Structure 1
Amino acid sequence: MEYIVYDLEMTNRLSEIIEIGAVRLGWINSELVVLDTFQSFVQPKMDSLNTRITNLTGITKKDLINAQPFTSVIKDFRDWIGKKEYYLCSWGPEDKWALITDSTYHKTSIDWIINHNDLQFLFSLLHESDKGFRYGLSRALNKLQISLEGSQHRALDDAMNTAKIFLAIHKDINLEKNPRSYLESKIFEPEKLVYQSKDEEEDKSSSPFASLSNLFG
């Protein structure tokens, strides 16, 4: 079994994917380690990059102008994932919805979006199960006394930091196998979008993913 820990960056208005970053984790000599990484920009078709997202992520129009379209990048991503059995892991529920939304719009398969687990939810249950809120990524790293590396809101850096959290907690959590999890796209649950506090830098008000809920009214 391998673990694909991934992160997406998106546009502001329609939450269209503009960058995919991922870390592959697997077992070597009974130790869970980083095996490989993936990063690609995605040229948006429905939406455009604005100043807010450039300021937040550092991604510019120059980065996207020569990027491949979603259909090509998602094929490359699936090829990189490979044929071994895997879990898909993200920090929060939003990235799964974005994968489903963009795949559906571009008429590409969603049957690979399986065994999906929300590491933010599992981490928050592990540390604050009685309070009903979630940790942002940087606060979770601080909780574990793990240094944040790279730039926040860049897909591969966020995926790598998420992977470090997973490596620290994987023995204390149980991942679910849900081979039909992509069918959840028929029901959107906005109550899942809960963050820790008003001063959390990744709270809903500042999240570039917050507008995603509008697509599932």
Structure 2
Amino acid sequence: MKDINILSLDLEFNQPSESIIQIGAVVGNLSTGDILEELQIEINAKETLAPFIIKLTGISQDEVDNGETLLEGYNKLKDMFIRHDCFRNCLTWGGGDSQLLRSQLDLDDEMFLFGRRWIDAKTLFVSHCFANDIKHQSGLAKSLTRVGLAFKGSKHNAKDDALNTFIIYRRLLGALHNNYQDVRTGYIK
């Protein structure tokens, strides 16, 4: 597997506004699987949290009210990304987190550190399920169990979701790597 660092990103947001209330990220090395750094930042969205979101995430109104600005959080994320010389595009579970961050920061693709694309671990998982006739509809925690792993931490905690996204992505990359010769020869099991 390639010796490269990748930033796995997850966001938690309020409803119905979709204002970001928590940024979670880990930097992991794809070759070793080592987690080099973790980051969790509560963001002051300057709005009242929906009761459903408080229950789902465990994030309190007080934590958000005392949180950092979105720009401060993004700058910490950028610093971590640069410090570890990460691959340009971040890793996410499903699409949209990096684009939502870019949109709420009002940055164009030239100014946004992660560019226009992201690596979607969920799409890779769904492709794995199709290839192996496995049920594909599931969230992150259930998807981990379907590939023989267990969720670490708390669901809907941005840092823990980012960590688990990195873990499942690395497992799926390992499966691709192990079947590389089969793909090159056209042999399908």
TM-score normalised by L of structure 2: 0.79
Aligned AA for 2:39? F
| Equivalent position of 1:188 in the other structure | none
| Equivalent position of 1:160 in the other structure | 163
> How far 1:35 sits from its partner (Å)?
1.2
| Equivalent position of 2:43 in the other structure | 42
Uncovered stretches (5+) of structure 1, i.e. residues with no partner? 175-217
Aligned AA for 2:37? D
| Equivalent position of 1:100 in the other structure | 102
Matched, 1:19 2:22: yes
> How far 1:121 sits from its partner (Å)?
0.6
| Equivalent position of 1:122 in the other structure | 124
Q: Equivalent residue of 1:18, what SS? A: strand
Q: Work out whether residues 124 and 135 of structure 1, in 8 Å CA contact, stay in contact via their aligned partners in 2.
A: no
Matches of 1:15 and 1:89 in 2, distance apart?
20
Uncovered stretches (5+) of structure 2, i.e. residues with no partner? 178-189
Q: Work out whether residues 129 and 135 of structure 2, in 8 Å CA contact, stay in contact via their aligned partners in 1.
A: no
Matches of 1:57 and 1:15 in 2, distance apart?
14
| Equivalent position of 1:184 in the other structure | none
CA radius of gyration, larger in: 2
> How far 1:133 sits from its partner (Å)?
5.6
| Equivalent position of 1:62 in the other structure | 62
Give aligned-pair identity as a percent. Answer: 25
> How far 1:9 sits from its partner (Å)?
0.3
Aligned AA for 2:115? I
C-alpha change, 1:114 and 1:80, in structure 2 (3 Å) is farther
Q: Equivalent residue of 2:106, what SS? A: helix
TM-score normalised by L of structure 1: 0.69
Matches of 1:15 and 1:110 in 2, distance apart?
19
Matches of 1:26 and 1:133 in 2, distance apart?
27
> How far 1:33 sits from its partner (Å)?
1.8
Q: Equivalent residue of 1:32, what SS? A: coil
> How far 1:50 sits from its partner (Å)?
1.5
C-alpha change, 1:4 and 1:85, in structure 2 (3 Å) is closer
Question: Which ranges of 4 or more aligned residues in structure 1 deviate by more than 6 Å?
Answer: none
Aligned AA for 1:44? A
Q: Equivalent residue of 1:110, what SS? A: coil
Q: Equivalent residue of 1:31, what SS? A: coil
Q: Equivalent residue of 1:13, what SS? A: coil
C-alpha change, 1:17 and 1:24, in structure 2 (3 Å) is same
Q: Work out whether residues 92 and 119 of structure 1, in 8 Å CA contact, stay in contact via their aligned partners in 2.
A: yes
Aligned AA for 1:101? S
| Equivalent position of 1:142 in the other structure | 145
Matches of 1:113 and 1:39 in 2, distance apart?
22
| Equivalent position of 1:182 in the other structure | none
Matches of 1:143 and 1:112 in 2, distance apart?
30
Q: Equivalent residue of 1:37, what SS? A: strand
- 1:118-161 per-position Cα deviation (integer Å, ceiling 9, x unaligned): 10011111112589965321221110121122111110111112
| Equivalent position of 2:185 in the other structure | none
Matches of 1:54 and 1:85 in 2, distance apart?
32
- Equivalenced residues, count: 170
